[in-house]
Amino acid sequence: MATSVVWNEADDIIRLSDIVKRFGGAQALSGASLAVRRGTVHGLVGQNGAGKSTLIKLLAGLHAADEGVIEIDGTAYASLSPQQVEHLGIHFIHQDRLLVPTFTVGEALFLGREPRIPGTPFLDRKRMRQTSAEILDRYFGLRLPHSALIGELTAAEKQIVQITRALLDNPKILVFDEPTAALVRREAELLFTLIRRLRDEGITILYISHYLSEIVDLCDTVTVLRNGRDVATLPVKKTSAKEIGALMVNRDIAELYPKPKVLPGRPFLELDGLGLANRYADVSLTLHRGEVLGLTGLVGSGAKELLRTLFGLETATAGTVAIEGETVFSASPAAATAKRLALVPEDRRRDGVALDLTVSENTTLASLDRFGRAGLLDKGAEKRQARELIERLQIKTDSADALVRTLSGGNQQKVAIAKWLSRQSEIYLLDEPSVGVDIAAKVEIYTLIGELAARGAAVIVLSSDIDELLGITDRVLVFFRGRITREFISAETSPDQVLAELTGANETLRHVG
Amino acid sequence: MASNASSASSSLRGLARYALVAAFVVVFAIFSAIAPAFLSGANLLSVLVNNFALLAIVAIAMTFAVAAGGIDLSVGTAIDFASFAFVSLVLAGQPIPLAILGGLAGGTLVGVFNALLISGIGISPFLATLGTLFVGRSAQQLLTNGGNPVYLPPSGVPEAFRFLGHGTLAGIPVPLVLAFAVILGTYLILSHTRFGRVVLATGIQASVVRYSGIALSRYTALTYVLVSAIAAIVGLIVTSTVTVYIPSSGNAFLLNAIGATFIGTTLDPHGRPNIPGTVLGVLLLSIVANGLLLSGLNFYWQQVATGLLIFFVLAIGFANRKAASRA
Amino acid sequence: MSVDAAHLSTALSAPVRHETGATKTATGAFGRRLAVLALRQGSMAVFIGVLVYFSIAAPYFFTVGNIGNVLGQSAIAGVLAIGLTIVIIAGGSNVVTGGIDLSLAANMGLSAAVYASLLQAGQGDAVAIIGALGTGLVIGAINAAAITLAGIVPLLATLAVMNVVAGLELVLTQNTVVPASSDFLSAVSASGPFGIPVLAYVLLGFAALVAALVQYTPLGLRLYAVGEFPEAARAAGLRVKLFISGAFLASGLCGGFAGILSVSYLSGSTTGAGDMLLPVVVTALLGTVFSRRLVPTIGGTLLATLFVSSLINGFQLLNISSTLVSGVQGLLILLVVSATTLLQRKGNQ
């Protein structure tokens, strides 16, 4: 059933065959297979719930398979223990960089296998320091002051330290689980270069990511999981992100970006010469009712800070903001929400939804004033509002009283948006709205954005996924080094054009011209 | 992830949630059996007035701090300051109503100080209120010449002064009336108002509250002011009962108030601090104290038994919640 | 996964840190380090300044005899604070959900009572020592089980245990002082070489031993990892619960040890050991300013203990009411914590 590439089985370092895994009555894996060839970068993709994480946990020895065989390096195992896994040379690089912030690089690298001064029970700090400096320099050309603490490093530097930790054990197989989630594009590029080098040194890489463009860029082979099975294993050279995406959802890629045609209405939000010291300057733009405006830029380009300013999390140092012609000044999120602004923040699980409040409580958190009755909360009205929004946004939850923690990423994001619908906000600022959301929920969120615009709201979407941005917006503004450098009409633009602008590749040309 | 096999164990957990109620019923039954005097109306009333009323008010104050994701180690300081201000104003010949207002203001001042530290500077509540506790202790010693009690001369005390501690309203002792008023009022505030919802949400995930356009620091400040204001009521009642202000005596309530609040969280399905739970926790502690006294058990064993009871209620409550979060 | 209940862990955490997702610049890190340096040096400067002031105002203050007294008087609180420091290191710096042991002072009281009672019952010092340390260890074991097995947050678990232990002490002593004397006890409370009390040497020796273990061995490094970032420790193959249990056992043992010292110092068990709790908590927390990374360290705790004892001693010599000490301690903790909080806020901007 799976279209397979033909190669010599002896070349496979990992072979998972016909794995079945049940949790209670639910079947997480129903006959999934995965064969990873020695010395390659192998991509693993699938929607949330497709069985990716279960498969990885089996490989890590955290779950035992109900049926099927695991073969590592030619030896078959019924199940693995974490100790065995480590012994076999399989290491996992997680998206959360698991390093102690108050440790020095040396301490973090050697935690759990510290060198001792010979003949004593004491730490050999000197050796830790020297060895770590040497490895970091040799592998990555990274030189850090030896007193530098993990907490003072950038996200990419931390990731390098984590990979180095794994390299100290001479691993045969490295498993990367969404490693770029917290990285800037430039940092991600650095990581890719590194992964290719590790592959060239003979290490096998299993790479799991939501970003299909990364898979196409980086991997030699890709396996697509759907509904607990592998539906395809393809050489990346012979496929495309679109084809992989279609396999994941089994739906035509054209349906991915449903964009209703909305004619922009009257000017709604107007920025004139807005600036924030050292972040961005001279931002002027007009957002109309019914319009979806895209923003993009590298980290530090100022785009994110612009959203934060509009929502009152930062205070502008220059320029003005006007809503329907009236100048407003938002010094706090409270002031901004009063002006009908809404922010769906990027760090959803920290800022967007309260995981241990119920769906209903999250939904009404920003609009509690609406549910007052004689000074008390009208819980019945609250519940009705929540149910209505659960229905309207198709939030998959057991009930309005379920904790948001129990929802999937996509449904949590819908709750984060529902909060503002309940408040009847009209200017929506969406910061990376589809990060960590599976494809089906993404499409639903895109549809919702279209509906908001159709009802006369104005939407600003900040995203680093250019395909998405062009697919769902009317216009895209590119930020580069604190200024808007270019405006694109989404329907007439190709991703490469935006990318070139975004990374500053056009900069030199323009100066010459 | 959904598993049907766990439905049996989840209903078991549902039962375990009522560990607190069960403990209460069992303890009540045991004392009724072994100490006949326990079940008498006079005794139960004395439990309510002498053991329950004061601790309930302090524990409720604590519940707000815990609900907002913090703790207030300086509730005793608020009690003391209220008591000191009350006694000082009466000694200075001020009318009782004014002295009562002054006492409330004196206690509330402690909360204002905490609010500045927690909401203004951003110190964690544990450390801020620990600091307040120490500074407050020293301040009281300075105010009282090294910690001497301030007595009201028996002859000079207006009868109105004793009303809060000894009076009755419609036949019900005033401390009990005040406790019930506080219970009812705070229950409405915590469970049925916007303020209460924001406090609970802050305790669960403060950044979401801020990102929802709610003036977080204002609510946090208000919470700690409210905690002290509620605690101040106890200062007034105690002083009115014993007609003396004893420096740093309010701390006696601290640990039981914390204990009752957290015992109370075991009653909520999500483990949230809640007024009914806190009240039930205080009730449990009160009848245990009284029942042990009547049972004739050595006074010192009583403390051990109380400690063990708290320990086991917490252990069952937490072990149960741990199991729930694992499922 | 999580050790404590989901709600409590979030509900009790410190106020929201104002983190921005932006990567920190090199100058930001440098600025923060400079500020940490200023805070650390500032605290040292205050410490030394106070010592110098006392030495000038009360010439007797800076004599070998008096310094020995200060050290000797610090021994009991110092041992307790060191025990608490171990727990804070392994439990993390969030004092509510993380590491705290409220049962320490009561533990000392009960251990002292056990020691004195055993002597009264005609047992020798060896049995009494085993009894006291055993008492401490059992209390530590109960704390450890309540926290790692039942999953009660440390603040509450140790609070409940504290109540039980304090009750047991009352039961054992009937709230009286149980006198105790033996050659061993006299030797510990006597004056040692250079006219400095033996207790002073005990404190310094104990601190050096624990510091060697905690700051200079792999075990200590792992203890910090467990406290600061349990997931990272787990990922490094460490058994987090084992370390946390070990920390509470160690702290229990410190309680027992302090009990022995207290019997020797006071020639018997004493009531009211619980009063030492909050000063010890404050001392252990104050100690963090003496470390470069603003984390609890054994050396820092020792310095903080000596600082507080010097204050009490200096106030006595200058005839200032010693009641002020509690106020000064309170102000110090507020100052230190304000400074570190503002610093962290700045560091995250």
Kindly provide the ipTM of the predicted complex, given to two decimals.
0.86
The single-letter DSSP state of residue C260 is H
- Report chain A residues whose CB lies below 8 A from the CB of B2: 23-26
Q: Are A459 and A293 in contact (CB under 8 A)?
A: yes
Chain B, 2-31: which have a CB under 8 Å from a chain C CB?
none
Residues 6+ apart with CB under 8 A from A508: none
Query: What average pLDDT does the structure give for chain C?
Result: 81
- Whether residue C322 is contained in a domain is answered as yes
Identify the closest residue of chain C to B251 by CA–CA distance. C275
Question: Looking at the predicted structure, is the pLDDT value of residue B19 above 80?
Answer: no
* Burial environment of residue B287 by CB neighbours within 10 A (0 to 12, 13 to 18, 19 or more): buried
Max avg pLDDT among A194-203, B210-219, C272-281: B210-219
In whole angstroms, what is the distance from residue C53 CA to residue C310 CA?
11
**Could you give the 3-state DSSP secondary structure of residue A30?**
strand
Domains (range + CATH), chain B: 36-326 (1.10.3470)
Q: pLDDT: is B140 or B231 the higher one? A: B231
Pick from C218, C232, C293: CB nearest A114: C218
Domains (range + CATH), chain A: 9-255 (3.40.50.300), 265-340+426-513 (3.40.50.300), 353-425 (no CATH)
**Could you give the 3-state DSSP secondary structure of residue A476?**
strand
- Cβ of C94 within 8 Å of Cβ of B124? The answer is yes
Identify the closest residue of chain C to A155 by CA–CA distance. C23
Residues 6+ apart with CB under 8 A from A472: A257, A259, A292, A294, A446, A449, A450, A461
Distance from CA of C164 to the nearest CA of A (A): 33
Distance from CA of C6 to the nearest CA of A (A): 8
**Band of residue B319 on the pLDDT scale cut at 50, 70, 90:** confident
pLDDT digits (tens, 9 = 90+) for B228-256: 999 999 999 999 988 889 888 888 888 88
The proportion of chain A whose per-residue pLDDT surpasses 90, expressed as a percent, equals: 32
pTM: 0.80
| Number of other CB atoms surrounding residue A302 within 10 Å | 24
- Report chain C residues whose CB lies below 8 A from the CB of B216: 16
Q: What would the mean pLDDT of C151-159 be, rounded to a whole number? A: 85
In whole angstroms, what is the distance from residue C274 CA to residue C266 CA?
16
In whole angstroms, what is the distance from residue B287 CA to residue B38 CA?
9
Q: Are A420 and A366 in contact (CB under 8 A)?
A: yes
pLDDT digits (tens, 9 = 90+) for A92-107: 887 666 788 888 888 8
Q: What is the pLDDT of residue B137?
A: 85
In Å, what is the CA distance from C231 to each residue of A245, A436, B305?
Answer: 33, 21, 37
Question: Looking at the predicted structure, is the pLDDT value of residue B262 above 80?
Answer: yes
Question: Structure tokens of C323?
Answer: 């009641």
Q: Are B277 and B263 in contact (CB under 8 A)?
A: yes
Q: Are B94 and B38 in contact (CB under 8 A)?
A: no
Q: pLDDT: is C31 or A462 the higher one? A: A462
In Å, what is the CA distance from B180 to each residue of A214, C104, C137?
Answer: 63, 37, 44
- Cβ of B298 within 8 Å of Cβ of C171? The answer is yes
Q: How many independent structural domains does chain C possess?
A: 1
CB-based contact, A357 to chain B, within 8 Å: yes
Interface test with C, best of A103, A105, A278 (most C CBs within 10 A): A103
Question: Looking at the predicted structure, is the pLDDT value of residue B98 above 90?
Answer: yes
Question: Structure tokens of A45?
Answer: 């993709």
In Å, what is the CA distance from C326 to each residue of A459, B126, C44, C270?
Answer: 57, 17, 20, 21
- Report chain A residues whose CB lies below 8 A from the CB of B204: 354-357
CA end-to-end span of chain C, whole Å?
32
Distance from CA of B323 to the nearest CA of A (A): 15
Residue (of A393, A323, A381, A352) closest to B213 by Cα position = A352
Q: pLDDT: is B45 or B156 the higher one? A: B45
Max avg pLDDT among A494-503, B178-187, C60-69: B178-187
Chain A, 392-411: which have a CB under 8 Å from a chain B CB?
403
- Whether residue C20 is contained in a domain is answered as no
Q: What is the pLDDT of residue C64?
A: 80
At C105, the amino acid letter reads A
SS3 content of chain C, % helix, strand, coil (to 5): 75, 0, 25
Distance from CA of B178 to the nearest CA of C (A): 29
Write the secondary structure of chain B as one string of H (helix), E (strand) and C (coil): CCCHHHHHHHHHHHHHCCHHHHHHHHHHHHHHHHCHHHHCHHHHHHHHHHHHHHHHHHHHHHHHHHHCCCCCCCHHHHHHHHHHHHHHHHHCCCCHHHHHHHHHHHHHHHHHHHHHHHHHHCCCHHHHHHHHHHHHHHHHHHHCCCCCCEECCHHHCCHHHHHHHHCEECCEEHHHHHHHHHHHHHHHHHHHCHHHHHHHHHHHHHHHHHHCCCCHHHHHHHHHHHHHHHHHHHHHHHHHHHCEECCCCHHHHHHHHHHHHHHHHCCCCCCCCCHHHHHHHHHHHHHHHHHHHHCCCCHHHHHHHHHHHHHHHHHHHHHHHHHHHHC
- Cβ of C216 within 8 Å of Cβ of A96? The answer is no
Question: Structure tokens of A463?
Answer: 């995203």
In whole angstroms, what is the distance from residue B38 CA to residue B299 CA?
16
Q: What would the mean pLDDT of A328-340 be, rounded to a whole number? A: 90
pLDDT digits (tens, 9 = 90+) for A31-50: 889 999 988 999 998 876 67
Pick from B130, B133, B204: CB nearest C11: B204
Chain B adjacent subunits, 3+ CB pairs under 8 A: A, C
- Whether residue C183 is contained in a domain is answered as yes
Q: Phi and psi for C52 in degrees, rounded to 5? A: -65, -45
Q: What is the pLDDT of residue A513?
A: 32
**Beta-strand pair A41-46/A204-208:** parallel
Question: Structure tokens of C282?
Answer: 């404050």
Q: What is the pLDDT of residue A10?
A: 62
- Whether residue C77 is contained in a domain is answered as yes
Residue with tokens 């003396």: B244
Question: Looking at the predicted structure, is the pLDDT value of residue C22 above 70?
Answer: no
The single-letter DSSP state of residue C12 is T
Question: Looking at the predicted structure, is the pLDDT value of residue C340 above 90?
Answer: no
- Whether residue C221 is contained in a domain is answered as yes
Helix spans in A95-209 (H): 105-110, 125-140, 155-167, 185-200
- Cβ of A379 within 8 Å of Cβ of B205? The answer is no
> Computed from CA positions of residues B105, B107, B109, B114, in that sequence, does the dihedral angle turn out positive or negative?
negative
Distance from CA of C12 to the nearest CA of A (A): 13
Q: Are A450 and A478 in contact (CB under 8 A)?
A: no
Q: What is the pLDDT of residue B64?
A: 97
| Number of other CB atoms surrounding residue C192 within 10 Å | 16
Residue with tokens 């070998």: C64
The proportion of chain B whose per-residue pLDDT surpasses 70, expressed as a percent, equals: 92
What residues make up the domain containing C38? 25-347
Chains A–C, number of C-beta pairs less than 8 Å apart: 76
Question: Looking at the predicted structure, is the pLDDT value of residue B6 above 70?
Answer: no
Question: Structure tokens of C328?
Answer: 């000064």
Question: Structure tokens of A426?
Answer: 């009209």
- Whether residue C17 is contained in a domain is answered as no
- Report chain B residues whose CB lies below 8 A from the CB of A330: none
CATH no. for residue C274? 1.10.3470
Question: Looking at the predicted structure, is the pLDDT value of residue C8 above 80?
Answer: no
CB-based contact, A374 to chain B, within 8 Å: no
Question: Structure tokens of B305?
Answer: 């038994």
Interface test with A, best of C34, C89, C221, C292 (most A CBs within 10 A): C221
At A362, the amino acid letter reads N
Question: Looking at the predicted structure, is the pLDDT value of residue B107 above 60?
Answer: yes
- Whether residue C13 is contained in a domain is answered as no
In whole angstroms, what is the distance from residue C318 CA to residue A26 CA?
76
In whole angstroms, what is the distance from residue A478 CA to residue A505 CA?
13
Q: Are A114 and A125 in contact (CB under 8 A)?
A: no
In whole angstroms, what is the distance from residue B203 CA to residue A83 CA?
39
Question: Structure tokens of B138?
Answer: 């020293």
Q: What would the mean pLDDT of C282-300 be, rounded to a whole number? A: 84
